Amino acid sequence: MNGSPSQGVDRTGAQVSDNQSDLVILGGGSGGYAAALRAAELGKSVVLIEKDKVGGTCLHRGCIPTKALLHAGEIADQARESETFGVRTSFEGIDMAGVHKYKDGVVSKNHKGLTGLIRSRGIEIVEGEGRLVAPRTVQVGGDTYTGTNVVLATGSYSRSLPGLDVDGERVITSEHALTLDHVPESAIVLGGGVIGCEFASAWTSFGAKVTIVEALPHLLPTEDEANSKQLERAFRRRKIDFKLGARFAGVERTGSGVTVTLESGETLSAELLLVAVGRGPVSAGLGYEEQGVRIERGFVVTDEYLRTSVDGVYAVGDLISINGGPHLQLAHVGFAEGIQVAEHIAGLPVAPIDYAGVPRITYSQPEVASVGLSEALAAEKYGADAITTVTYDLSGNGRSAILNTKGAVKLVAAKDGPVLGVHIVGDRVGELIAEAQLIYNWEALPGEVAALIHPHPTQSEAIGEAHLLLAGKPLHVHD
């Protein structure tokens, strides 16, 4: 249990009350609250400090509200296309007030449930902005909280580009996009990664004309190239424009919106510009470096066990760079890291996370889902002659035909060895990637997966069919 507070003074001479506990967590997002819940389960006294609302970016400004918008867009598309299925209906437009009521209701329900769960575990929630003032002490206002261990979990923010000022009106980030009171007539999306593609998809479903500007050669540039090309074909069918290998040069605000200039000299005009060029770590001004925490490019550097350079201080989530390398900024990664840290602190045996084995999903229409290595990364790691690939087209899948979706399952495998990567495109395929995660992480052989009987008619059969093909005994596949 938390110890009795002791009295002292801060560096300005003001009275402060120090509260002792086993674990102090700075940041109540996915990684922070997961660490709190698991540590409490393990009998630790926990203080969770959050300046906004528990749940963090994911629940309030990221995963949950954006997927609610995407689902509203899916309903709009279904209304437009209902005659394809013999259903007569009419589409009268988007009521953004109604969309927000639905979206905010989902967020509120989840937030209330999460808050109740945290309090039920005996975790003390401290509302306020915290700062690391000693290696294992966080100050919030006039109080300090000292733990046997500390977890830094302060998350990330929407980045911009040098010289590109976000005004929240004509030039916006995803946070602003989530609260727009109308559907923009047109939009330019700067960045063809996950966030950019999801908003481009949702706005197109709502009726906006969207153009994506991406500096790299493909949309979703970290995905297997085959997945990227499948998405690009789907976006062309949906009349979503995109400029690939196009670098941003500048933006001018006009009476009717914005004009974006590319380095090639080409100009694009729209009602607004969404800046979706990634997320940066929230670490500045929080006392980390002053207390000896190693920082690189704003990220807190940890080892594979998520320990920082300061003894007893861990870090999780979007904030970190593991051994100075890139790190997946995903809510479910934060959950896993929070659990790992809590168990490591409790002295339980833990294995470092294999980040290649973490499922990745883009919730556009169609969805893009993957786990494991892309063909390019597998060839780089094992040699091009040591791997093999197959692709199973969803046109052979009955459930996908019922849903009227196009796409494919691509497998990357070691020759005469395990599956190294699973890459899928199609509506609702994000629900398939959990099975693919087991295949990759358990180093399954193609024949072992091919022997599993998948229920018919489901999209999951596409996983089985792809492995039948890889095992040399294809079923619903044309020669």
> How far apart are alpha carbons 350 and 307 in whole angstroms?
13
* Same domain assignment for residues 294 and 273: no
For the chain, the C-alpha Rg in angstroms (whole number) is 24
- 68: number of Cβ within 10 Å: 20
> How far apart are alpha carbons 360 and 330 in whole angstroms?
8
For residue 29, tell me if it sits in a domain. yes
CATH, residue 466? 3.30.390.30
Question: What does the pLDDT average to over 431-444?
Answer: 97
Q: What is the DSSP letter of 463?
A: H
Residue 134, beta-bridge partner list: 137
| Range scoring the smallest mean pLDDT among 2-16, 26-40, 131-145, 406-420 | 2-16
pLDDT of residue 238: 98
For residue 434, tell me if it sits in a domain. yes
**Helix ranges, 294-390 (H):** 331-345, 375-382
Residue 187, beta-bridge partner list: 210, 272
Whether 456 sits among the annotated catalytic residues: the reply is yes
For residue 237, tell me if it sits in a domain. yes
Cα separations in angstroms, 300 against 101, 242, 283, 285: 37, 34, 8, 13
> How far apart are alpha carbons 89 and 86 in whole angstroms?
10
User: Does residue 4 surpass a pLDDT of 80?
Assistant: no
The Cα angle at residue 56 between residues 303 and 75, in degrees rounded to 5: 120
**Comparing C-alpha atoms, which of 400, 387, 395 is closest to residue 432?**
400
Q: What string of H, E and C letters represents the secondary structure of 129-178? A: CEEEEECCEEEECCEEEEEEEEEECCCEEECCCCCCCCCCCCEECHHHHC
For residue 75, tell me if it sits in a domain. no
Question: What does the pLDDT average to over 437-459?
Answer: 97
Query: Which pLDDT tens digit goes with each residue over 336-365?
Result: 999 999 999 999 999 999 999 999 999 999
**Active-site annotation holder among 456, 467, 476, 478:** 456
User: Does residue 219 surpass a pLDDT of 70?
Assistant: yes
* Same domain assignment for residues 273 and 297: no
pLDDT of residue 1: 40
Give CA torsion, residues 18, 19, 24, 30, to 10 deg. -110
User: Does residue 14 surpass a pLDDT of 90?
Assistant: no
In terms of residue numbers, what domain contains 269? 171-277
> How far apart are alpha carbons 266 and 249 in whole angstroms?
10
For residue 90, tell me if it sits in a domain. no
CATH, residue 149? 3.50.50.60
pLDDT of residue 478: 80
For residue 19, tell me if it sits in a domain. yes
Tokens (6 digits) for 219? 């949309």
* Same domain assignment for residues 146 and 292: yes
pLDDT band (50, 70, 90) for residue 9 = low
For residue 1, tell me if it sits in a domain. no
Q: For the chain, give the mean pLDDT.
A: 95
Question: What does the pLDDT average to over 95-118?
Answer: 98
- Domain's final residue, options 241, 262, 277: 277
Q: H or E segment at 194?
A: helix 194-206
Query: Which pLDDT tens digit goes with each residue over 42-75?
Result: 999 999 999 999 999 999 999 999 999 999 999 9
* Same domain assignment for residues 191 and 220: yes
* Same domain assignment for residues 109 and 258: no
Total of domains in the chain: 3
> How far apart are alpha carbons 224 and 220 in whole angstroms?
9
* Same domain assignment for residues 53 and 37: yes
pLDDT of residue 464: 97
Question: What does the pLDDT average to over 99-108?
Answer: 98
pLDDT of residue 17: 75
For residue 68, tell me if it sits in a domain. no
Residue 417 backbone dihedrals phi, psi, to 5 degrees: -145, -165
More confident residue, 5 or 300: 300
How would you classify the pairing of strands 320-322 and 367-372? Answer: unpaired
Whether the CB-CB separation of 226 and 423 falls below 8 Å is answered with: yes
Chain centre distance of CA 194: 8
* Same domain assignment for residues 152 and 295: yes
User: Does residue 11 surpass a pLDDT of 90?
Assistant: no
pLDDT of residue 8: 54
User: Does residue 243 surpass a pLDDT of 90?
Assistant: yes
* Same domain assignment for residues 26 and 123: yes
Query: Which pLDDT tens digit goes with each residue over 294-319?
Result: 999 999 999 999 999 999 999 999 99
Q: H or E segment at 138?
A: strand 137-140
pLDDT of residue 446: 97
Residue 9, beta-bridge partner list: 15
Tell me the helices (H) and strands (E) count for the chain, helix number first.
13, 26
* Same domain assignment for residues 190 and 333: no
* Same domain assignment for residues 264 and 130: no
pLDDT band (50, 70, 90) for residue 425 = very high
Query: Which pLDDT tens digit goes with each residue over 170-192?
Result: 999 999 999 999 999 999 999 99
Whether the CB-CB separation of 402 and 456 falls below 8 Å is answered with: no
pLDDT of residue 108: 98
Whether the CB-CB separation of 155 and 25 falls below 8 Å is answered with: no
pLDDT band (50, 70, 90) for residue 99 = very high
Tokens (6 digits) for 378? 């597998």
> How far apart are alpha carbons 157 and 310 in whole angstroms?
24
Cα separations in angstroms, 40 against 57, 284, 314: 23, 29, 17
Q: What string of H, E and C letters represents the secondary structure of 230-284? A: HHHHHHHHCCCEEEECCCEEEEEECCCCEEEEECCCCEEEECEEEECCCEEECCC
Matching residue, tokens 């998405």: 231
Give me the half-sphere count of Cα atoms (radius 13 Å) on the Cβ side of residue 200.
Answer: 34
* Same domain assignment for residues 310 and 373: no
Question: What does the pLDDT average to over 198-202?
Answer: 98
pLDDT of residue 2: 47
* Same domain assignment for residues 378 and 450: yes
Residue 124 backbone dihedrals phi, psi, to 5 degrees: -85, 120
